[in-house]
């Protein structure tokens, strides 16, 4: 009776949808479309009411195969997304290609989602662990939960795709708490007093460190905290009222008094930043200049203003610098700014960051060694292989991140400030690693700029297709900037400065 009633309702809806044949053709087609859409939505509603799952569409063998491989596939997919992110996350700084941006954007969004889904699937599995015949494999699957925390922490090369992502640090803080509780729940449900359960503890610590690092970096790069970190302590300044009273009093007494600020201003304008000590480092002096201007002009990214002395000093510097060196300083300076806003540079380039990186890597390596020696023979071969992929993959990703860290301008800046045998040894080791791992290109930006060609747009007869999609993905035409253009632009800037001084 229930099914006959449903069919009768569908027939009534269909009859209603096709009434009114005397209407014009376009109105008739519109009405047919609406009726068919209503019919489709109603059928979907009936499917939900009867609790028919989409899985029932597939054969039982396919469903059984998916149930066996679901956890394995999504965990491996999470590892794959981490590999893509760490390889391409830093590439967009010096590769201006739309396909790179699309890959990073899709992977960035999918990485967190697939890791959270994996944790949810593992928690559902552990809820039925007493009914599982393969209890050992379930314990091994639960061992994968801490690795998903590592994946949620993300690679060092990208923490935010855009500046708006930094504003969501509170959401990530809540996610840290929720996902850690889920992983800890999986860990407790699978506890059997085995060695594998004990090996999960160091991976938990490493995952918590990585996820906490990401949350802290997002908070530090958010607009409010980034601005507050650059605000100086309140300075009341000189007592101008008292100063003017003394000035007027001395003038009435007959003294020849005047106010001179030129000496102080010239002294402040001629101030200098620390010079490079170790000149054996390539671009050592340029790195020092770029870091000084980075600390000066990063206030503009927080809607703060520059002082008169900062403006005059920067003008004086660029007036006495060649155009090649000036553009190189700006490249390094903007690279520092990119790292602060979109990577874990705030944490990893600090003493605390080096300590946390050492703890995370050592815990992962120790767990890998212990698993390969004591544990691997007790479980399924496929699951053991996947576990090795997670362990070795995590170690390789950490080593790759360390190589990228040592090859960065931040490390070269630190080495340029220290001249001793240890610094020289570190630099030679880094140079060897750069040669072995093909990091010797040292590209800092794409050397191209996005441009909208108004003339080309006007002379085209055909309208742009998918304009909204192109705007969403920021698809523009990229043009290489030649060295002659840089020289010409720098000459114009020098001319403008000379005109202002006159």
**pLDDT single digits (tens) 390-410:** 999 999 999 999 888 888 899
Which residues are CB-neighbours of 360 under 8 A, at least 6 positions away? Answer: 205, 206, 209, 210, 398
Same domain, 372 and 223: yes
Q: Is residue 13 part of a domain?
A: yes
43 is a domain residue = yes
pLDDT digits (tens, 9 = 90+) for 448-502: 777 766 666 666 555 555 556 555 555 566 667 766 777 777 777 777 777 776 6
93 and 23 within one domain: no
Question: Which residue, 411, 436, 461, sits at the end of a domain?
Answer: 436
Q: Do both 120 and 33 map to the same domain?
A: no
Domain termination residue (choose one: 391, 415, 436): 436
The answer on 131 and 25 residing in a single domain is no
In terms of residue numbers, what domain contains 181? Answer: 57-229+345-436
Question: What pTM does this model have?
Answer: 0.75
Is residue 314 included in any domain, yes or no?
Answer: no
**Are residues 62 and 207 part of one domain?**
yes
Q: Transcribe 125-178 into DSSP letters.
A: HHHTGGG-S-HHHHHHHHTTHHHHHHHHH--TT-S-SSHHHHTTHHHHHHHHHH
For residue 148, being part of any structural domain is answered with yes
Task: Measure Cα distances from 492 to 101, 313, 319, 488 in Å.
Answer: 33, 19, 11, 6
Q: Are residues 412 and 453 in the same domain?
A: no
DSSP 9-49: HHHHHHHHHT--TTS-HHHHHHHHHHHHHHHHHHHHHHHHH
Q: Looking at the structure, tell me whether residues 472 and 418 fall in a common domain.
A: no
Query: Over the stretch 344-361, which tens digit does the pLDDT of each residue have?
Result: 999 999 889 889 999 999
The CA distances from residue 36 to 28, 203, 365, in Å, are 12, 54, 60
Residue 266 inside a domain? The answer is no
391 and 418: one domain?
A: yes
Q: Which residues of 471-487 are buried (b: 16+ CB within 10 A; e: fewer)?
A: eeeebeeeeeeeeeeee
On whether both 68 and 121 belong to a single domain, the answer is yes
Question: Could you say which of 404, 436, 468 is where a domain stops?
Answer: 436
Residues 114 and 82 in one domain: yes
- Cα-only R_g, the chain: 31
Distance CA 281, CA 182 (A): 48
- What tokens were used for 102? 């699309």
Nearest-angstrom CA–CA distance, 342 and 58: 43
Residue 282 lies in a domain: no
Please check whether residues 26 and 162 belong to one and the same domain: no
Q: H/E element holding 376?
A: none
Residue 244 lies in a domain: no
Per-residue model confidence as pLDDT tens digits over 245-304: 776 777 777 777 666 654 444 444 444 556 667 777 888 889 999 999 999 999 988 888
Query: Are both 11 and 95 inside the same structural domain?
Result: no
Number of domain units in the chain: 3
């Amino acid at each position: 009776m229930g099914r006959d009633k449903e069919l009768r309702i569908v027939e009534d809806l269909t009859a209603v949808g096709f009434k009114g044949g005397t209407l014009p053709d376009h109105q008739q087609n519109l009405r047919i479309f609406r009726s068919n859409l209503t019919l489709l939505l109603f059928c979907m509603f009936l499917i939900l009411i009867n609790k028919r799952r989409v899985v029932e569409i597939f054969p039982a063998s396919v469903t059984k195969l998916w149930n066996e491989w679901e956890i394995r596939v999504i965990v491996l997919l999470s590892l794959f997304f981490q590999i893509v992110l760490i390889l391409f996350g830093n590439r967009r700084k010096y590769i201006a290609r739309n396909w790179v941006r699309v890959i990073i954007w899709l992977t960035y969004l999918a990485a967190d989602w697939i890791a959270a889904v994996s944790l949810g699937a593992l928690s559902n599995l552990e809820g039925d662990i007493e009914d599982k015949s393969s209890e050992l494999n379930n314990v091994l699957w639960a061992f994968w939960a801490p690795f998903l925390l590592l994946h949620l922490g993300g690679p060092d090369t990208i923490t935010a795709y855009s500046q708006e992502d930094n504003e969501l640090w509170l959401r990530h803080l809540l996610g840290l708490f929720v996902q850690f509780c889920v992983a800890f729940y999986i860990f407790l449900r699978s506890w059997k007093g085995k060695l594998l359960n004990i090996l999960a503890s160091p991976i938990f610590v490493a995952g918590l460190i990585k996820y906490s690092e990401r949350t802290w970096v997002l908070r530090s790069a958010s607009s409010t905290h980034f601005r507050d970190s650059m605000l100086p302590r309140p300075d009341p300044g000189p007592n101008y009222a008292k100063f003017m009273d003394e000035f007027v009093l001395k003038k009435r007494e007959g003294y020849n008094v005047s106010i001179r600020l030129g000496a102080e201003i010239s002294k402040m304008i001629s101030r200098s930043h620390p010079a490079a000590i170790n000149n054996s480092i390539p671009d050592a002096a340029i790195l020092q200049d770029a870091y000084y201007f980075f600390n000066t002009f990063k206030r503009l990214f927080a809607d703060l203003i520059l002082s008169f002395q900062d403006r005059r000093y920067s003008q004086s510097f660029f007036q006495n610098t060649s155009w090649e060196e000036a553009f190189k300083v700006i490249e390094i300076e903007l690279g520092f700014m990119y790292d602060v806003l979109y990577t874990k540079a705030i944490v990893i380039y600090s003493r605390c960051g080096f300590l946390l990186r050492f703890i995370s890597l050592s815990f992962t390596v120790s767990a890998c060694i212990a698993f390969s020696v004591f544990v691997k023979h007790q479980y399924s071969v496929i699951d053991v292989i996947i576990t090795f992929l997670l362990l070795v993959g995590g170690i390789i990703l950490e080593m790759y991140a360390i190589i990228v860290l040592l090859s960065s301008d931040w490390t070269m800046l630190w080495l340029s400030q220290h001249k001793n045998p240890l610094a020289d040894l570190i630099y030679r080791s880094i140079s060897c690693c750069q040669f072995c791992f093909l990091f010797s290109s040292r590209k800092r930006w794409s050397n191209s700029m996005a441009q909208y060609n108004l003339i080309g747009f006007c002379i085209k007869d055909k309208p742009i297709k998918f304009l909204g999609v192109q705007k969403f993905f920021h698809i523009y035409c990229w043009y290489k900037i030649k060295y002659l253009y840089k020289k010409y632009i720098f000459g114009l800037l020098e001319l403008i400065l000379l005109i202002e001084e006159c």
